[in-house]
Amino acid sequence: MKVKLKDIATYINGKAFKPSEWEETGLPIIRIQNLNNSAKEYNYYNKEIDEKYIIEAGDILISWSASLDIFEWKSEKAVLNQHIFKVIFDKDIEVDKNYFKLAISNTLHILEKYTHGSTMKHIVKKDFENIEIPLPSLTKQKEIAQTLDKASELIELRKATIQKLDELAQSIFIDMFGDPKDKYNHDQCYELDDLTERITDGEHQTPKRTDSGTLLLSARNIQQGFIDIINEKVDYIGESEVLRINKRLKIEKDDVLLSCSGTIGRVTTNTLNENFCIVRSVAIIRPNIQKILPRYLVAYLQTSFMQIKMNTEANSSGQPNLFQNQIKKLKIFLPEPEKQNEFVHTIEKIESQKFLYEAELTKLQASFDALLSQSFEG
């Protein structure tokens, strides 16, 4: 049978904390940025608060503005900001928490259809609560969740292997060049604007979407070290829009792409073998390759220090943004060209192995998605 979400649980929206209420100590305030990016620093609240806004480890949270997603909170006691639902299973229907998380994940594409807003998309609570999901017996729920959890474990193991390769690459970078936090005011540090031919961002006007054509990508497609058009949603635009957008900027092979709105700091070179366009949530950095190699710049921006630096400097009035002038002023430690080349040659060997694992991960994810969809049919 199918059951409406409102009949399964109660959904409590977080408190609208004002910046004037933020403190440096107390309970961490969970914002969407903290759910999407663990590197994002927390604000804190140290006054009395209604119990309904308190979050404990194991609570299920659903972001319903800016991005739609479901999370299980696994950290310390905290308080919940607005734009996130806390799920309370207080209805008479028996529901397995793991099954519920999977069912919501399988329903996100449906929830997207109910979103409103041009600058910050959100879903109205009434529409959310009226969405239906299949709800078999508790025994069947647990069986489905266990099967999918095993498939998910394989995916997580492969992701862990890829992460270890990324950590190895970062370790090699630090061994060769030192930690950027110790070099940030070094005499070999230059503002990024001095090392590039151009720094800009993607299309600001809303392009007219089509069902097929040229890829139109956004920050969600920019991952650390690659462009994801398999697991992340892509849009398409027609030839007339492509021609209009390319008059301002056409993406080139050596361009470095940086997510600069919503999720800050994911960075990659252009890894696609096809033409595509970008919206404004992605910055395009065109290195002067006589001064700095794109792959070196990507590794530098991926260091922990630079990730924290970019997220700290991002302006946030609801959704964080790292603007062009801030990107241009980022300081980059510039080693000799021979040293950069040595690093790139070393890193290419690691990336060839990583590519094989990522191809396997893509297959595992496709199998999981098919199994997920099949499990929630009817």
Per the model's pLDDT, the better-predicted residue between 230 and 43 turns out to be 43
List CB contacts of 191: < 8 A, sequence separation 6 or more.
Answer: 328, 329, 330, 331, 332
Q: What pLDDT, on a 0 to 100 scale, did the predictor assign at position 114?
A: 79
Q: What pLDDT, on a 0 to 100 scale, did the predictor assign at position 365?
A: 85
pLDDT band at 332 (very low <50, low <70, confident <90, very high): very high
Last residue of a domain, one of 135, 163, 192: 135
- Give the angle subtended at the CA of 248 by the CAs of 247 and 253, to the nearest 5°: 90
| Residue 238 maps to a domain | yes
Tokens of 274: 């096809």
| Residue 145 maps to a domain | no
Task: Work out the average pLDDT over 44-71.
Answer: 91
* SS3 state at 123: strand
The answer to whether residue 177 scores a pLDDT higher than 80 is yes
How many C-beta neighbours within 10 Å does residue 335 have? Answer: 18
Task: Work out the average pLDDT over 362-366.
Answer: 85
Together in a domain, 35 and 130: yes
Together in a domain, 102 and 18: yes
Together in a domain, 117 and 186: no
Last residue of a domain, one of 135, 161, 196: 135
Q: What pLDDT, on a 0 to 100 scale, did the predictor assign at position 118?
A: 61
In this prediction, what percent of the chain has a pLDDT beyond 70? 97
In this prediction, what percent of the chain has a pLDDT beyond 90? 61
pLDDT band at 378 (very low <50, low <70, confident <90, very high): low
Q: Can you give the residue range of the structural domain that contains 24?
A: 2-135
**What's the longest Cα–Cα distance across the chain?**
68
* SS3 state at 75: coil
pLDDT band at 318 (very low <50, low <70, confident <90, very high): low
CATH, residue 295: 3.90.220.20
Do 27 and 79 touch, CB atoms closer than 8 A?
yes
pLDDT band at 373 (very low <50, low <70, confident <90, very high): confident
Together in a domain, 237 and 308: yes
Where does residue 174 rank: exposed (0-12), middle (13-18), buried (19+ CB within 10 A)? middle
The Cα–Cα gap between 268 and 270 comes to 6
Together in a domain, 129 and 183: no
Task: Work out the average pLDDT over 315-331.
Answer: 87
Question: What pTM was computed for the model?
Answer: 0.63
Q: What pLDDT, on a 0 to 100 scale, did the predictor assign at position 354?
A: 85
Together in a domain, 95 and 218: no
Together in a domain, 109 and 210: no
Together in a domain, 93 and 193: no
| Residue 282 maps to a domain | yes
Q: What pLDDT, on a 0 to 100 scale, did the predictor assign at position 77?
A: 93
Task: Work out the average pLDDT over 210-238.
Answer: 91
Together in a domain, 111 and 181: no
pLDDT band at 376 (very low <50, low <70, confident <90, very high): confident
Together in a domain, 93 and 216: no
| Residue 341 maps to a domain | no
| Residue 160 maps to a domain | no
| Residue 326 maps to a domain | yes
pLDDT band at 317 (very low <50, low <70, confident <90, very high): low
Task: Work out the average pLDDT over 51-63.
Answer: 94
Task: Work out the average pLDDT over 332-340.
Answer: 95
* Number of domains observed in the structure of the chain: 2
The answer to whether residue 39 scores a pLDDT higher than 70 is no
Together in a domain, 121 and 30: yes
The answer to whether residue 308 scores a pLDDT higher than 70 is yes
Handedness of CA 364, 366, 368, 370 (dihedral sign): negative
**Per-residue model confidence as pLDDT tens digits over 113-154:** 878 776 667 888 999 999 999 999 999 999 999 999 898 899
Q: What pLDDT, on a 0 to 100 scale, did the predictor assign at position 119?
A: 62
**Per-residue model confidence as pLDDT tens digits over 62-117:** 998 877 889 999 888 999 999 999 999 999 999 999 999 999 988 887 888 878 77
Residue 87 pairs in a beta bridge with 11, 60
* Mean model confidence pLDDT for the chain: 90
Last residue of a domain, one of 110, 135, 160: 135
What radius of gyration do the chain's Cα atoms show?
A: 22
Together in a domain, 226 and 282: yes
Tokens of 220: 């969600």
| Residue 378 maps to a domain | no
Query: Buried b / exposed e across 67-93, counting CB within 10 Å, b at 16+?
Result: bbbbbebeeeebbbbebbbbbeeeeee
| Residue 164 maps to a domain | no
